[in-house]
Amino acid sequence: MTKRIVVVASGRGSNFQAIIGALQRGNIPAECVALVTDNPKAYAIERAEAANIPVVVVDYGSFATRELYEQALLAALHEVRPDLVILAGYMRILGSAIVREYAGKMVNIHPALLPSFTGLHAQRQALEQGVKLAGCTVHFVDESLDGGPIILQRCVRVMDDDDEDTLANRILIQEHLALPEAVRLFCEDRLSIEGRKVRTRM
C-alpha cells in the first residue's frame, strides 16, 4: 500500500530533493504529503513548491518556549498523518514526546559512519581524527543523539588534501543515494528492528 511520507528539513533540502526525484521516478511506493520546516527561509520550501508538495512552516522563532514549539510541531505532524517521518537536514534535537510517538517510523540522515562523530560538524570531526573512510548513515530515531538502529551506510575515501567542504560534498553524493534507498526499503515493508539491529528482507 502506498505510504504517506513527510520530510522535515531546516535548510537547503538537497536530501529532500533526492527523495522527490526517487518518487518522481516511481522508485518509492509512497506519496510525500508534506514538507515540514522550522525555518521560513529554508530553500527546501522552494523545492517543495516546485514539486507540488504542501509546505507546513512551524517557525521556531515565533514560539515563546521550546515546549510550545514542540507541541506545534507534533500537532503539524498529526495533521498530515505520516506513516514515515524523514529528518533530512533537520537541525534541531527533537523532544522526547515526538520521538516516542514516531518510534520505528522516523528516520534521520547523518553525514558520518555512526556511531562515530555524532552531533554537529561530523565531517570536521572525521578530518580531525584522521580517519581514512568517512560516509553517511540512515538510522531510526530514538532518544539518543544520532544513536538509533542503523538502516544503511555508505562510505567514501578521505583524501589527504580534503577540507571540510570537499569531504562534505563527497559524502553528500552518497547521502543522496542512501536516503531514498532507506525510504524505499521502509515503504516496501522490508525493514524490521530487532534491538539495535535493523534487518532487511531481500
Residues that bind ligand GRF (CB under 6 A): 9, 11-15, 88-89, 109-111, 172, 175
Of 78, 110, 139, 176, the catalytic one is: 110
Distances (CA, A) of 107 to 35, 101, 127, 137, 166: 15, 13, 26, 10, 26
Helix/strand/coil for 127: helix
Cell triple for 20: 522527490
Spatial distance between the Cα atoms of 131 and 44, rounded to a whole number of angstroms: 31
**Cβ-proximal residue to ligand GRF, closest one:** 89
User: Does the active-site annotation cover 139?
Assistant: no
Query: Closer CB to ligand GRF, residue 71 or residue 166?
Result: 166
Query: Closer CB to ligand GRF, residue 12 or residue 124?
Result: 12
Min separation Cβ 201 and ligand GRF, Å: 26
- Which of 148-151's residues contact partners 24+ apart within 8 Å by CB, and which partners? 148/108, 149/193, 149/195, 149/196, 149/197, 149/198, 150/114, 150/198, 151/107, 151/182, 151/185, 151/186, 151/191, 151/198, 151/200
Contact 5, 84 (CB under 8 A): yes
Query: Closer CB to ligand GRF, residue 71 or residue 131?
Result: 131
Min separation Cβ 171 and ligand GRF, Å: 7
Query: Closer CB to ligand GRF, residue 14 or residue 127?
Result: 14
Min separation Cβ 202 and ligand GRF, Å: 27
Min separation Cβ 12 and ligand GRF, Å: 4
Active site residues: 110
